Amino acid sequence: MSQKLDKSVAQKEVVQAVVIAEHFGNEFMPITDDTPLTLLPLLNVPLLEYTLEFLSLGGIEETFLFCCSNVVMIKQHINSSIEKSAGWSLTMKVHVIVSETCRSFGDCIRDLDAKALIRGDFVLLEPGIVGNIKLLPIIKKHNETCNTDKGAAMTLILQEAGLGQRGRCSFEEVLMVATPNNRVLLHQKLGTSKKAKIELPLEILMDNASVNIYHNLKDTHISICSPNVLSLFSDNFDFQTKDDFVRGLLINEEILGSTIYWHLIKGNQYGAAVTNWRMYQSVSRDILHRWLYPLVPDMGISSQQRSYIHLQNNVYRSKDVHLTQSNSLIEDVIIGGGSSVGDKTRISRSIIGESVKIGDNVIIEDSFVFSNTVIGDNSVIQHSIIGQKCVLETGCIVTKASVIGKGVVLPENSIIENYLIRSHSSKTGVASNKLAKNAYHIKPEESVESDAEDDGLHRKLSRLYMPDEAEPSDDESVKSSESEDNLSYTISPVPDDTNLFLTEVVDSLTRGFEDKLQCDNLILEINSSRYAYNVSVKEVNFNVIKAILMLPFQLYLGQPYLPSLRPLLDYFSPILKNYIRNISAMVDCLQAIEDVAANNNELNECVSAVLNWLYNKDHLSEDVILNWFSGIDKNTRFYARVEPFTNWLQQAEEASSSEED
Amino acid sequence: MFNLEFQAVVLAAGKGSRMHEITAAKPKCLLPVGNKPLVWYPLVKLQEIGFKEVILIVYDNQKSEIQSSLDKLNLNVKIEYVPIKNEDQGTADSLRFIHDKIKTDLLILSCDLISDVNLGGVLNLFRMHDASLCSLFLNPPAGEHLTVPGPKTKYKPERDLIGIDSQTNRLVFLASASDFESTVTLPKALIKKHTQITMYSNLIDSHVYVMKKWVVNYLQTEPSISTIKGELLPHIIRKQLLKPKQKHDFNTSIVNTKDESGVFAFASQTNLDRLIQETSSFNDHHGDLKPSYHGDLVRCFAYIAKPNVFGIRVNTLPAYHSVNFKIIDKWEKLTKDKEFNRIDSSAEVLSNQVDDRCIIWNSCKLSEKTSFKNSILGAHCEVDKFSRVFNSVLMNDVVIKEKVALENCIVCNDTVIESGCQLKNCLIGSQHVVPKDAVHSNELLTQNDRLMELELL
């Protein structure tokens, strides 16, 4: 009873926010070795200041800052900010909550539930939020939603962001299905998955007269929560992250009786979370481009001092920066107080911290240099992050998304490409190579479960964005050549059957070769699976050849390709003879070779030997080969591999025809 | 002479298979609705927006019957009857059949549409975007419940899934809901191209299509397509995701590339149009940096009628039943104030209990001491003394003897209901004789052999 009373009183009085300060990840290694994410400088101001300032401007009066590590540092920072009477400290109370046992976002919320500090609807912020969203109208809207739908637990705040916008985090490509009144029905993180199809449950489409399917949103990681969110987290201890929570609630909507809504922010409102270096980069740029107004450097973020002047081309310069006549700040640059820049140095699209000494003839592009660092003459820094108190001696080159931790000293003329460097050798068992006295190269942890390619992509996406790299998925070129089957929305059984047929053939052949079965029997077997899977003659020819060519990978994985293929070809010669009967079958055979070679470099290397063998055994005729060859893209490596063989063929032909004369 | 902008085609060769009980002996397009046959409504609609000529596709063996009844209606629009012979032809087959008559872009209507929607809206959308294809969708009628005559069956409406780009009204997805079991798969390329799609599951496809002439030409090359809605539309809509092949494409030898020359051999763009599009600052969408229409040559659009628009497709028994009682209220809007002749002058009405919601066709004979409420009586009907007819539809030449009580019934052509019958919620097939003093409710009354035949069909 008294709790209820409290709640109604609280709603009138204080709007509360919860900020989780811990990100439970190692994306920012080695910079976050000794600085918590919340104190990571963003345009020379700790990230936390943006978050708190945003909350106070958004109308929040009481904030709980939930910390799990580096508590002393954060507390100190809060206290010193209050002493300096930072903007937010005037209207908002900040309580630091410490729980060092929490291991995940979910743990933090459960801990918060146990502490019973929250009285009404509250704003929940994941780590690393910046924004200038007006929260009060959204909270009001959430309240109204709660009045009509008692189960409404959370309102997610998402921002419109077109495809290809750099503020869209590639890990968080989201597909959302919602009703016209903004109830979320499906919230799928597509991530970097390469699946060509999206599956939607038919039920959600049929149960609603119309639903909207969104793929033009980015998650701001800000949400408005009803008090029961806390108890939902406590009841479902498998919820580790907010995504778990959203997914769990949507799947078990009936059981948990809770619903999720969403709110779209548009126009001049902005929200984003710094979740990895790429987001850090895009958020920095957006702030420089004044999307976060009024939180821009020249207005003094949360501080009473306005130390920066805003010049054209979005150059922000602190008043006491030492510049010379000949250096140039090109665009999107901010230089903190006490820094000095040498002669003929060019800086563009970069953030330079406070008291940074940059020598002569230095080039800094698309990079972040934190405070108190010294950069020697003739250095080049591109797409990289240099931590605090580093020393780069003369002529260092740091490029390709390198990250250099606090206090690293790089000797003269070091070249660092795509490395993570920290100043001390690892204590935690992460492998590291010593480069210099105060520079150790950290090898990324090899994750065992995920396969190498996926991991590579993961790593690539979590570092800084470099414009010259090809984005992983641009479907434009794919579309024209993509067969139409991929575009149809009803599942067509044919390609699946053909795939099944292929695996069947591979199985038959493997077994046949191992048990030394008669090829005639194998042909019978293949033909019967052909009827079972209803594949056309063309596909049979194509897949049988493909299967034979792929067999070495099955039988002798890791061994040289050609020597293992030879006996197979000899053994299966009767089969080849049976299937490659006419010209069109030869074409199918050549296409199979092309297809396998496109995916397997091993075959690509020795393709002319394979062609030669097939030609010598009369499986392929000269005309067909030459005809097929004329259709291959001349710029491919495949073409280059085949060319010697066809040249030889042509010469042989000329020779033989001249002999006949 | 000017080239016409659009040619109108009305498809009236439907069998009415969803309401075979009443279409067994009568062409679907001649079913009486109000005081007109069904096909009159789309024809009037076309006449109203200025069409002078209409191509009407009918069955060969129904042609004379349809022609003679339409001749009586004094329509100003010139009707060119195109008879088709094969009963099982789909709508797309019909289009293919008349392709040599097609000189310009097409407006296609089905004979069973009764709506007060302004077709100008969908035509303008077509013009505005130089679309390949536009389709008109109607909002479902507000929830109502009428007892449908005949055996109690659950009528399950067929539902479509219709995906429309929220920004541009592009029609990007169309499929019947029954095509899917538990999940609907969308190509990722689709959601990447159209980042906000509204997926409707309750809209009604009005079967009003505006399409470019090339679509009919293209249809010639795709003989497997037999229906417009079920096959042609989804096919064309899917083609929107494809790009025409670049001329210098070296990938020709890669396996599985179908000959894609197909649609783009027809959906071409003049150089001038291309230059206009490239130089124009117009863009139909925002959110990515793609050119307007994403550079597509195939463009399908959807026009959703406003919620207050009345529209119904008379292709099921419930629809037929309910439209007959709505027609009086909607008459003014449907026909733009055409004179409404509720009781034909040639009818002989001796009864003094005919309420103002009854429609009586020519040459009816209503004896004295009969009572009529909310009913439609077709031509040459006769009703004898002491009978009453409530909420019912009587087609032509129905004879009702003395002391008959009909309530909520549909009675087909040439039926005789003997005296003393009491029928409620019944469907009475054509040429049937209901014996004396029969009492039925919620039944289908028809000759058994005819029904057998129907079921075999």
Interval B384-432: pLDDT, tens:
888 889 988 888 888 998 889 988 888 888 888 888 889 888 888 888 8
Per-residue confidence (pLDDT) for residue A224, from 0 to 100? 92
Per-residue confidence (pLDDT) for residue A481, from 0 to 100? 35
Distance from CA of B1 to the nearest CA of A (A): 42
Q: Alpha-carbon distance A172 to A157, whole Å?
A: 14
- Domain extents in chain A: 16-192+205-277, 307-426+433-442, 497-653
Q: Alpha-carbon distance B10 to B31, whole Å?
A: 16
Out of B161, B183, B200, closest to residue A199 by CB: B183
Residue of A nearest to B185 (CA): A199
Per-residue pLDDT reduced to its tens digit, A65-76: 988 888 888 899
Out of B161, B188, B257, closest to residue A198 by CB: B188
Task: Cite the beta strand spans of A450-520 per DSSP E.
Answer: none
The answer on pLDDT for B452 being more than 80 is no
Q: Alpha-carbon distance A242 to A249, whole Å?
A: 10
| A459 residue type, one letter | R
A200 interaction partners in chain B (CB closer than 8 Å)? 183-186
- Nearest CA to B417 among B391, B389, B449? B389
Are A78 and A96 contacting, i.e. CB atoms less than 8 angstroms apart? Answer: yes
Are A476 and B226 contacting, i.e. CB atoms less than 8 angstroms apart? Answer: no
Asked which of B80-89, B164-173, B190-199 is least confident by mean pLDDT, the reply is B80-89
Residue of B nearest to A636 (CA): B250
Cα A400–A401–A402 angle (5° rounding)?
Answer: 100
The answer on pLDDT for B9 being more than 90 is yes
- Residue B334 to residues A115, B118, B313, B327: CA-CA distances in angstroms? 67, 10, 14, 9
Distance from CA of A161 to the nearest CA of B (A): 7
Are A238 and A244 contacting, i.e. CB atoms less than 8 angstroms apart? Answer: yes
Per-residue confidence (pLDDT) for residue B162, from 0 to 100? 92
Mean pLDDT computed over A644-655: 78
Out of B173, B195, B202, closest to residue A209 by CB: B202
| Confidence category of residue A470, pLDDT binned at 50, 70, 90 | very low
Per-residue confidence (pLDDT) for residue B248, from 0 to 100? 43
Percentage helix, strand, coil for chain A under 3-state DSSP, each rounded to 5: 45, 20, 35
DSSP A367-425: -EE-TT-EE-TT-EEES-EE-TT-EE-TT-EEESS-EE-TT-EEPTT-EEES-EEESS-
- Domain extents in chain B: 6-243+292-333, 341-455
Q: Alpha-carbon distance A219 to A158, whole Å?
A: 5
Per-residue pLDDT reduced to its tens digit, B293-319: 888 888 999 999 988 888 888 888 888
- Nearest CA to B111 among B178, B184, B59, B160? B59
Asked which of A470-484, A576-590, B232-246 is least confident by mean pLDDT, the reply is A470-484
B307 interaction partners in chain A (CB closer than 8 Å)? none
Looking at domain B6-243+292-333, its CATH architecture is: Alpha-Beta Complex (3.90)
Per-residue confidence (pLDDT) for residue A631, from 0 to 100? 79
Can you name the residues that pair with B251 across neighbouring β-strands? none
Subunit contact B192:A475, Cβ cutoff 8 A: yes
Rounded to a whole number of angstroms, the distance between the first and last alpha carbons of chain B is 47
The answer on pLDDT for B457 being more than 50 is no
Q: Alpha-carbon distance A486 to A491, whole Å?
A: 9
Are A76 and A46 contacting, i.e. CB atoms less than 8 angstroms apart? Answer: no
Distance from CA of A489 to the nearest CA of B (A): 5
Other C-beta atoms within 10 Å of A592: how many?
A: 21
Per-residue confidence (pLDDT) for residue A151, from 0 to 100? 85
Distance from CA of A484 to the nearest CA of B (A): 8
Subunit contact A475:B184, Cβ cutoff 8 A: no
Instruction: Please identify which residue in the block is written with the tokens 């479509």.
Output: B160
| Confidence category of residue A444, pLDDT binned at 50, 70, 90 | low
Per-residue confidence (pLDDT) for residue B258, from 0 to 100? 44
The answer on pLDDT for A473 being more than 80 is no
Looking at domain A16-192+205-277, its CATH architecture is: Alpha-Beta Complex (3.90)
Which one of 2.160.10.10, 3.40.309.10, 1.20.1430.10, 1.20.1060.10 gives the CATH number of domain A307-426+433-442?
A: 2.160.10.10
The answer on pLDDT for A446 being more than 80 is no
pLDDT mean across residues, chain A:
80
| Confidence category of residue A266, pLDDT binned at 50, 70, 90 | confident
β-strand A380-382 against A363-365: which pairing, if any?
parallel
Out of A162, A475, A598, closest to residue B288 by CB: A162
The answer on pLDDT for A298 being more than 70 is yes
| Confidence category of residue A660, pLDDT binned at 50, 70, 90 | very low
| Confidence category of residue A494, pLDDT binned at 50, 70, 90 | very low
The CATH number of the domain covering residues in A497-653: 1.25.40.180
Read off φ and ψ for residue B191, nearest 5 degrees: -75, -20
Out of A175, A205, A487, closest to residue B191 by CB: A175
Subunit contact B188:A212, Cβ cutoff 8 A: no
- Nearest CA to B378 among B366, B394, B400? B394
| B132 residue type, one letter | S
A206 interaction partners in chain B (CB closer than 8 Å)? 159, 177, 201
Q: What is the largest CA-CA distance in chain B?
A: 86
Distance from CA of A490 to the nearest CA of B (A): 7
A594 interaction partners in chain B (CB closer than 8 Å)? 253-255
Other C-beta atoms within 10 Å of B209: how many?
A: 26
Out of B182, B241, B249, closest to residue A487 by CB: B241
The answer on pLDDT for B18 being more than 50 is yes
Per-residue pLDDT reduced to its tens digit, A308-320: 888 888 898 888 8
Coil vs helix vs strand at B338: coil
Other C-beta atoms within 10 Å of A417: how many?
A: 12
Subunit contact B183:A215, Cβ cutoff 8 A: no
Tell whether domain B341-455 is in CATH 2.160.10.10.
yes
Tokens of A464: 């800084």
Per-residue confidence (pLDDT) for residue A223, from 0 to 100? 92
Per-residue pLDDT reduced to its tens digit, B192-203: 888 899 999 888
Distance from CA of A315 to the nearest CA of B (A): 27
Mutation pick from A160, A477, A480 vs chain B, by most beta carbons of B within 10 Å, is: A480
- Nearest CA to A158 among A216, A217, A243, A224? A217
The answer on pLDDT for B453 being more than 50 is no
- Nearest CA to B36 among B350, B313, B346, B344? B344
Mean pLDDT computed over A523-537: 82
B363-372 long-range Cβ contacts below 8 angstroms, 24+ apart: none
Per-residue confidence (pLDDT) for residue A448, from 0 to 100? 40
Per-residue confidence (pLDDT) for residue B144, from 0 to 100? 64
